[in-house]
Amino acid sequence: MAVTLLLISLLAFLAFQFIPGDPVTNLLGSDYTPERAAALRHEMGLDRNVFVRYWDWLTGFVTGDMGESYSYGMTVGQVMEGKGAVTAALSLMAWLLVIAISIPLGITLSRYQGGRLDRVFVAMNQVFMAIPPFFLGILFTYVFGLVLKLFVPGGFVRPEQDFWGFLGYLVFPALAIAIPKAAMVTKLLRSSILGQMGQDYVRTAYSRGNSRWSVLKKHVLRNALLPVVTFVAMTLADIVAGSIVVEQVFALPGLGRLLLASIGNRDYPVVQCIVVIIAFVVVFMNYLADVVTQTIDPRIRLG
Amino acid sequence: MDLRHNKNFTAGAFITGLMVGLILIGMVWTPYDPNAMDGRAKMLAPCARHILGTDNFGRDIYSRVVEGAGATALIAAATVAIGLVAGLIIGGVTGYYGGWLDEVIMRLNDALTAFPSILLALVLIALFGGGKYKIIIALGVLFIPSFARIVRAEVARQKSLDYVASARLMGAGDMRILFLHILPNIVPVLLPSVAIGFNNAVLAEASMSYLGVGVKPPDASLGRMLNEAQGYLMSAPWYAISAGAAIILLVLGFGLLSEGLGGDGHAS
Amino acid sequence: MTKRILALAMAVLMTAALFVGGGQSAFAASGSAADAAGEITVGIASDLDSSLDPHVSSSLAGTREVLFNIYEGLMKPDTQGNLIPAVAESYTVNDTADEYTFTLREGVRFHNGNEVTVGDIVYSLTRAAGLETGEPLMATLAGVKAVEATDDKTVVVTLSAPDAEFIAYTTAAVIPEGSDPADGIIGTGPFKYVSRSPQENVVIERFDDYWGEPARCAKVTFRIIDDGQAMVMALHSGAIDLAAHLDASQAAELSGLNVLEGSMNLVQALYLNNARAPFDDIRVRQALCYAIDKVMVIDLACDGHGTPLGSSMYPAFGRFFDEDLTGYYEPDMAKAMELLAEAGYSSDKPLKFTIAVVEAYTPHMNTAQAVVELLRQTGMVEAEIQPMENATWYSEAYQGRNFDATITGMDASTLTASALLGRFVSDNAKNFIGFASDDYDAAYAAAVSTTDADEQTAKFRECETILTENAANVYIQDLADFVVTQTDIQGYQFYPLYVMDMSTVCRVG
């Protein structure tokens, strides 16, 4: 895992070697002269070899010094302050919504398999899975924000100012992210339960006079949830990485927007830090998914 | 499996057929030139002359949606093709030989997967330049790791099977075994991932264009249209809905098709 | 058993409903916070520069327009385009226009409470002009030779060469002696700096000891909303009170609110790289001038709002603006074709070039789309838009001069004609289009060295004419600037510069 993260940070650092423009071009803008640029580059240490700079950054990062932002004149820590919380709150809320929607729905649908309710929901599920989250975000802004006035588009408040207002503003972005994912999980859970229901041990359990609910609870869910748990764990990683676009739609000041802006400003200390954070979440959740899978089903070897 | 009685397959085939049909027709004929502007016909509501209305330049939205959907579908298909071919080669070789090369490439693969795709896309677009054909390469590269991973796992599994051993006994070379014996056997496993890959590619292209990295204006692109349409939600909601619906139909059709074919159809 | 499942589902729904309810209370809460007396939230499209150092951060127009509220110079511009005394009470200039004498206004205080002294002024001008480092922070002050306090009320600035426009450059901010804006933002303006959060907001507060008319609102929060669409939504929903620099279609979308129309005060043009093919050929440049109908472009891209321009000057500059140049190239397709044919192009061998445009600048992007479409209709020109990030544009196009053509807007940071015309002198570092004309250089040199206002006007107009005759660029327009406010916001005033004066804005009723 550490190797992967190291590799990612190196890749991100090298990436800026290929993109035109550097912090200096941006800082000077229309006041640019080659002499001033060279002087500023020297002052900022940008004229050194890229690997030397990477090593500097890495040793700093490991010792907890994330460096100074080029475009804000403050430390990376100060720039990031509060931004991580927004993305974390948004992702977590979306993730919890995925679970809160899909688990009960999946179980209910499997109960009524083949019924009208089931068919309607399964069809709707297909449609929801096909909706890009940012389009759902746009629709929500229109329907709930502008027509029904349930929230104020662009009216984000900081949690320090108004905690419930902050959470309230995140509900619709979180839903926009959660619904397509929840549709996938619902579907996965439903077919997983149905798959288990046909197994011999279920028939045996029924024949002992157990009710449907207790069979479900005691036997089926345990097995049926296995693939779902793995998927749901990986979903969180997906949500974090995918929040960039939705933050843009709802003008949320989170990591994603900061990442886009910092790429634009060629502010690599900030980019570097965000990339490592996002990558860490992704790698960690994937690892966790593997561990969970392995714990529940020892036949699967960690790859 | 009798596909005619498979509702998913039927519905998917219908929707995909409809979209492909409209796109194909759009290649030779659209009601208006998708890029032609008309200063006197801006922001028209859907009407007999413009069935989906017009945009802020007075361009016909239907013509642009069809052109944009075509561009998106083409980009997605080509992206998957690149990802698939490169993934087959990389995944096949690493899965077959294993060893340190496998270790290194799979680490790189992990890193690429966990890398924010927007940054990677920006780098690749900076390398290749923007535009329809360049973004195919950029997105294609993004899609290599997931295919490589699937192929690698499958090849590693297959290579311990009897038929591989007997082929080797008969003196077949590694490359021959890999591409002539193993490959045909993993195609069924790959089919659903191709469909998922296509859908992910559609969404990726739309997101990129929405963020302004992708197809160059004035050429139509569904993501870019959504971005523009967002500003006119109050006065012209049909603009956003038309572009959004086209994305949904493309993804939905393919999702249903792949499900009908036995895959699980959802992105992962 | 199904009941339990249903109950579970209900519980989930109710949790969701609670969340939605939370959203509603958020609405009430944030609404009431914004209503607090005299607090105004302004949407701005881009985050500010790194340091907020008024002497270096002049590159971003968006930064200058916010800093206008915090910092002041010896002089400051007014809404009519005049320069009025600010930290200085008055000034005199000698006959040769190389010595300016300023008298300090009494009772001007910094935001830290200290009174402004001549020492502060000498320090500020010395720092901005780079007299000690030899490297001017502000290019406009490069001509300063010495700054000297003759008594505790008088500062004398001597120039190395006569410059009749120099007074416009003394809008450079006055900061406390020995201070560095990196350590604290202290000016003398009607607002003082409170805080900033990257990509989120910048907060300023009324400065109660301001020497002039105090600001009418107590606090202004500039909220960074970098997406034009999100900006429209935020106005729509009441999340922000005011936003400037909107375009016609955005304004049309907000017709229920107060919509003010002014102009952006910039020269939007298809800037051509005169230094290399194909635009090193004057016939090709002129052909484009004839082929691109500005009025049509403004119609298509800006719903007809905008002022057509014919040279690198816009109407707010009054006497320097030569109206006759706007119609110098009447749209004439036949003539354009003829010139292109002369230059060796035909429909089989069309003129091909790319137009670099910064992706995020919607007005330029829209203009570019209209221009490409109009050129496509000639059948002899294939122009392609090359969208890029701001940083890429700077490094490739502006600084690297590696471009065919670009659509952008050039604005003036000071109220001087040279702010717009200086860059086209052949050896100017900012001459990114590589324009080179001996006549131009001579006319410009004459204009900046004369002390006679009429002659200066005539010479600057000559410069503009040379640019137009040589078709240096395809001039398009001064963009319309729509300022949209909530209906209870009053007092916004337009300036002939790219600034946003919040001191006159207030909430009524």
Q: Which of C53, C169, C55, C174 is nearest to C104 (CA)?
A: C174
Shortest Cα distance from B97 to chain A (angstroms)? 16
pLDDT tens, position by position, C355-365: 999 988 888 99
- What value does the mean pLDDT of chain C take? 87
| ipTM of the prediction | 0.81
Q: What is the residue-wise DSSP string for C41-74?
A: EEEESSPPPSS--TTTTTS-HHHHHHHTTT---S
Range of the domain at B151: 3-261
Cβ of A146 within 8 Å of Cβ of C237? The answer is: yes
Cβ of C369 within 8 Å of Cβ of B42? The answer is: no
pLDDT tens, position by position, C228-246: 878 888 898 889 999 999 9
Shortest Cα distance from A222 to chain B (angstroms)? 21
Contact indicator for C285, C430 with CB cutoff of 8 Å: no
For residue B182 the two structure tokens come to 């193993």
In B, which residues are within 8 Å of A135 by CB distance?
A: 206, 226, 240, 244, 247-248
Shortest Cα distance from B223 to chain C (angstroms)? 14
Cβ of A261 within 8 Å of Cβ of C47? The answer is: yes
Report pLDDT for A301. Answer: 47
| Domain range list for chain C | 3-15+264-480, 41-49+188-263+485-507, 61-183
Q: Is the per-residue pLDDT at C252 higher than 90?
A: no
Cβ of C252 within 8 Å of Cβ of B212? The answer is: no
Q: Which residue of A has its CA nearest to C10?
A: A104
Q: What is the average pLDDT across C152-177? A: 92
Q: Is the per-residue pLDDT at C488 higher than 90?
A: yes
Q: What are phi and psi of A302, to 5 degrees?
A: -65, 130
Report pLDDT for B126. Answer: 66
Test mutation, A17, A18, A22, A32, chain C, max C CBs within 10 A: A32
Cα angle vertex A265, ends A19, B145, to 5°? 45
Give me the residue from A104, A162, A172 closest to C8, CB to CB: A104
Q: What is the residue-wise DSSP string for C158-186?
A: EESS--TTHHHHTTSPP--TT--GGG---
- Name the residue with higher pLDDT: A69 or B260: A69
Q: Is the per-residue pLDDT at C296 higher than 80?
A: yes
Class of domain C61-183: alpha beta
Shortest Cα distance from B212 to chain C (angstroms)? 7
* pLDDT confidence band for A267 (50 / 70 / 90): confident
- What value does the mean pLDDT of chain B take? 83
Report pLDDT for A220. Answer: 80
Report pLDDT for C99. Answer: 93
Counting the structural domains of chain B, the total is 1
In A, which residues are within 8 Å of B115 by CB distance?
A: 8, 11-12, 275, 279
CB-based contact, C234 to chain A, within 8 Å? yes
- Structural domain contains residue B267: no
- What value does the mean pLDDT of chain A take? 83
Give me the residue from A21, A97, A257 closest to C392, CB to CB: A21
Q: Which residue of C has its CA nearest to A77?
A: C198
For the ranges A20-24, B124-128, C368-372, the maximum mean pLDDT occurs at C368-372
Give me the residue from C1, C31, C236 closest to A146, CB to CB: C236
Cβ of A283 within 8 Å of Cβ of B114? The answer is: yes
Class of domain C41-49+188-263+485-507: alpha beta
pLDDT tens, position by position, A219-234: 787 778 877 887 888 7
- Structural domain contains residue B68: yes
Cβ of C385 within 8 Å of Cβ of B216? The answer is: yes
Which chains pack against C, by 3+ Cβ pairs within 8 A? A, B
Residues 121-140 of A with CB under 8 A from B: 126-127, 129-132, 134-135, 138-139
Q: What is the residue-wise DSSP string for A180-196?
A: HHHHHHHHHHHHHHHHH
* pLDDT confidence band for A96 (50 / 70 / 90): very high
Class of domain C3-15+264-480: alpha beta
- Position B49: which residue type? R
d(CA C69, CA C370): 36
d(CA A21, CA B120): 16
CATH number for position B31:
1.10.3720.10
Report pLDDT for B266. Answer: 40
Q: Is the per-residue pLDDT at A144 higher than 70?
A: yes
Report pLDDT for C35. Answer: 43
Report pLDDT for C8. Answer: 46
DSSP β-ladder status, C154-159 and C99-104: antiparallel
Class of domain A83-253: mainly alpha
Report pLDDT for C381. Answer: 94
* pLDDT confidence band for A208 (50 / 70 / 90): confident
Shortest Cα distance from A168 to chain C (angstroms)? 4
pTM: 0.85
Shortest Cα distance from C342 to chain A (angstroms)? 36
Cβ of A20 within 8 Å of Cβ of C5? The answer is: no
